[in-house]
Each structure stands twice: as structure tokens, then as C-alpha cells.
Amino acid sequence: MGMGELGTNIGSVLASLMFVWAIFKDHFPYRLRGHIEKYIQKLFRFVYPYIEITFHESAGERLKRSEAFSAIQNYLSTKASSQASRFKADVMKESKSLVLTMDDHEEVPDEFNGVKVWWVLNKHVNKSQSISYFPVSDEKRSFKLSFHKRHRELITGPYIEHVMNEGKAVVVKNRQRKLYSNNPSKNWHGWKSTKWSHVFFEHPATFDTLAMESKKKEAIMKDLKKFTQGKEYYKKIGKAWKRGYLLYGPPGTGKSTMIAAMANFLNYDVYDLELTTVKDNTELRNLLIETSSKSILVIEDIDCSLDLTGQREKKKEKDEDNKEETDPIKKKEKEESDNKSSKVTLSGLLNFIDGLWSACGGERIIVFTTNHVDKLDPALIRRGRMDKHIEMSYCGFEAFKVLANNYLDIDSHDLYGKIESMLGETNITPADVAENLMPKSDEEDVETCLNCLIEALEEVKKEEARKKAEEEEARLKAEKEEKEKAESAQESVKVDENSANSVVKENGFHKEGDAVGVDT
């Protein structure tokens, strides 16, 4: 028998009993009334061995929606689809997914470790109408959970925890992800945080569309997956639950695209941190504290956004300069220019990454990108801080095949052989390959596009050959100059030697002369 039927039967008997009692209770003496009520409750518990827990939508009139209520609602949306027959539908994520929630008073059974429970969504309409400054809906909704009292411990403990966790996971899955960028601190005002502004993150890049060797790609995906499942592991080893990636390679090799693919793969928000607008380390800390977990913090082009490598030395120099400045006008000018340039230091950034994040919740990924890995301070990129270094390189044949599939919907073509051999001997970025593969008009067919790429490859090859020839020429020229210099140096040494000899000779002559003189 379902909870519904049982509930209805017992419920109607008890309801009649209560009704009768309500009518006649005033005829009983006060003390007797208390006794009778106690017995009715006992009887109630005996014939109705179920416990009911109610979860209200709002904990108080002005409080925001209770977290438990939302979690339950989301949890039940996954159950309700198969169990209940009346739904309310919500369209999430730009009509990409439909979220069904149970309709009012619909009963949804659930099972946990073999124990059955029942959920009902109740709605009460508030009769007392009051005028309130805060818009409060008169409708109060609550979820009622019923289960046999035998299972009290299991249900109030592990089951509720399970519902909360699953419910929150559904929220994460369905939420619209955001791309945050930091605001300059002069705009940080008001009671609501304005440190980051956001837009919805809708970058279409995925690992499927990312042009890269499949082995490398799979290794990265595996690494990310392992990270997201590593909560217990990080706890065990006593490290903050974070992972750092350094993406390096020439412009147009897909570093930014990779970040978008990561965010889409993990379902994380992205915080794009523009370091040049961050005034100092305190500001940096304030910004980073406000990022949420399940997010990727991105610092693009670290070599350009800050002179991280030379910052410490520069600062020292500045301090010394400041001491010397005595002219008040010049001093003011100097201060202004100092304020304009960012004072975030490498050590500030590293300290934060190493320490602070451990304290404010885990599951964070930090990605640095750079075009010049060799310019970075080794302290910044040592393992442990940047756990994984990923080189984004020029387009190989495998990467080309992904792009051809993305842009032209093809897996093979007669021209593939030629393209493969040409890619082997030229450095072209995936961005350039993509640009050439994209049909410029509706008339352009696959072959035209591939030929367009071949032409571009030939162009690049020619360019490379020209550059190589130029370099060779410059090298030869330098060599020649060097040789000439060396020769002329030798020449002058010879001349010097000669002149030295002549001096010696002269000296000798003099000496001789002297001697002669002495002799004479």
C-alpha cells in the first residue's frame, strides 16, 4: 500500500476523531481535557507510525529562500520526472534543458537503502494580509517528508544529507555559468559587491573542437577529471584543493580556447583577472577572496600584464629614487606615475596562491598563459605552483584534422596527404589554419577551402624560407664583419708590434746611442 492510500485512510479516521474532539472538548473540565489530548496523540502515534518533517520555503518572512528547500526541490526534480504525473516546468540555460518540478500537492515516493519515503509539496495561503515594505508572497510553500518512525535515524541523517548533496549538484549542473572580470578599485562602492562584474559564459569551445594531439588532449581531460574527484585526496595530503596550469605558446595556438574548453568540461565559472588594474597586493587579496569555488581563475599574458620578473628589482630602484626626489612638483608627478603603474608583486601573487586559498574553500583552478615561457621567473612556474605546464604548439596534422572536421565536416580528402607533409615542414598556428578553412562564401566547397589552406601553407613556407635566407645572410654578414674586425685587429696588433719594435729599436738605438754616447 502506498503512503498515499495509507495516509488517506488513517488520515480520514483521525480527522473525524479530531473534528469530534474539537466540537466537544469545551464540555470537558480543563484538567481532563489535557489528559484526553495526550491519549489522542498516543493513539495517533500508534495507528499512524509515520514521522513527518516539514521544510518551509522561507525561514522567516524577510529571509531569502531556504537553501534546504531549493536543494529538495532540485533533488525531487530528478525523481519527479519518473514518478509524479503533474509537473511544473522551468526552462533553464537558454532553453537547452527542461527542469521539471512536481506540482503542488503531488506526492513523490523515493527510496533510500531499501527504505521508502514520501515527499509532498504543500501550499498554504496566508490569510492575514499585511502591507509590507518588502514584497512577500502570500503563498507559503513547504515540502513534507514522511517515513516510518523505525527509520528515523537513517532518514534524518544520511538520507537528508544525500538529498542536500544531490540537490546542490543539480543546481551546479543546470546553472548558467558566468565569466567574471575585475573592476578597477575606484569603482568598488556600495553595499553590494562591485569588485567583479559578470556576463554569462557562453563560449562554444569544447575539448571535442579543440585542435590538439588527441593523446595530449586526453591526458589533460584525465588530469582535470582527477582533480574534480580529488576532494578526499587533497584533504588527506593536507593540501589546498587547487591546481595550477601554465599554458604557453605563440599567439593563436589556442590558449584562450583551451581555457574555455576547460570551463565547459568542468562546468566551472571563469574569473578573468586583469592584473594591470589591480593597485596593490591588498586589492589582489580582496578580489581573490571574493571568487567562489568551482571556478577557474585566469591570468592571461602574465609576461605582459605585469613585469612580474623585474618587479622586485624595480621597486628597490624606485625606493632609492624616491629618497633623492626633493622638488615637490616633481615628487608629485612621480607619485602619480607610481600610482598608475600596478604595484602587485610576484610574491604577493604567489603567497596568495600558496596560502590564502587553502583557507577559503577548494576546487579552484588557476590558469596562467604566456607567449614567452622563458621570460618568466622560475619561482612562479616551478612545479607545485603551476602543477602542469601545457605547451600549445603550431598546428600538426592531427590538430588539422580536428579543425577540418569542425569547419568542413570532413574526415578525409585526397588533399590530406599533401597537407600532412606540408604541415610537417611549416609552422602555422591553428588560428591561421582555422581562418583558411572557413568557407568565405556559400559557393566555396571543401576542395576550395583545402586549396586555400595549401596556398597559405605555401605562403608561410616561402616566408619561412625568405626569413631563413635573411637570417643566413645576416649571419654571414656578421661573420664577415667579425672576421674583418678580427683581421683589422690583428693588423693593428701587427702595426702596434711593428711600432713597438720600432720603439724598442728606437730605444735600442737610443740605448746604443746612449751607449755610444757613453762610449764616446
CB of 432 to ligand ATP, least distance (A): 8
- Single out the residue of 185, 181, 189, 117 nearest to residue 155, CA to CA: 117
> By rule CB under 6 A, what count of residues binds ligand ATP?
15
Name which position in 2, 34, 251, 417 contacts ligand ATP (CB under 6 A): 251
Helix or strand or coil: residue 59?
coil
Q: Binding of ligand ATP at residue 430 (CB under 6 A)?
A: yes
Q: Binding of Mg ion at residue 429 (CB under 5 A)?
A: no
Q: Binding of ligand ATP at residue 70 (CB under 6 A)?
A: no
Residue ranges in 226-255 that form contacts with Mg ion under rule CB under 5 A: 255
Q: Binding of Mg ion at residue 370 (CB under 5 A)?
A: no
Partner residues linked to 122 by β-bridges:
142
CB 367 within 8 A of CB 297: yes
Burial 146-163 (b: 16+ CB within 10 A, else e): bbeeebeebbeeebbeeb
For ligand ATP, give the closer residue by CB, 76 or 299.
299
- Single out the residue of 284, 302, 271 nearest to residue 343, CA to CA: 284
Residue ranges in 373-402 that form contacts with ligand ATP under rule CB under 6 A: 392
Interacting partner of 257 out of ligand ATP, Mg ion, none (Cβ under 5 to 8 A depending on kind): ligand ATP
CB of 300 to Mg ion, least distance (A): 6
For Mg ion, give the closer residue by CB, 243 or 255.
255
CA atoms within 13 A on the CB side of 134: 6
- Single out the residue of 182, 405, 177, 209 nearest to residue 277, CA to CA: 182
> By rule CB under 5 A, what count of residues binds Mg ion?
2
Residue 398's contacts (CB-CB under 8 Å, 6 or more residues apart) are 212, 213, 214
Measure the N-to-C terminal CA separation of the chain; round to a whole number of Å: 147
The secondary structure element, H or E, covering residue 189 is none
Interacting partner of 253 out of Mg ion, ligand ATP, none (Cβ under 5 to 8 A depending on kind): ligand ATP
Contact segment (CB under 5 A) with Mg ion among 190-198, 256-264, 394-402, 475-483 equals 256-264
Name which position in 431, 438, 446, 454 contacts ligand ATP (CB under 6 A): 431
For Mg ion, give the closer residue by CB, 160 or 258.
258
Q: Binding of ligand ATP at residue 217 (CB under 6 A)?
A: no
Q: Which three cell numbers stand for residue 267?
A: 562546468
Name which position in 101, 182, 253, 256 contacts Mg ion (CB under 5 A): 256
Phi-psi region of 289 (alpha: psi -120 to 50; beta: other; left: phi over 0): alpha
Q: Binding of Mg ion at residue 305 (CB under 5 A)?
A: no
Instruction: Give the residues lining the site for Mg ion (CB under 5 A).
Output: 255-256
The contact set with ligand ATP (CB under 6 A) reads 210-212, 251-257, 371, 392, 430-431, 434
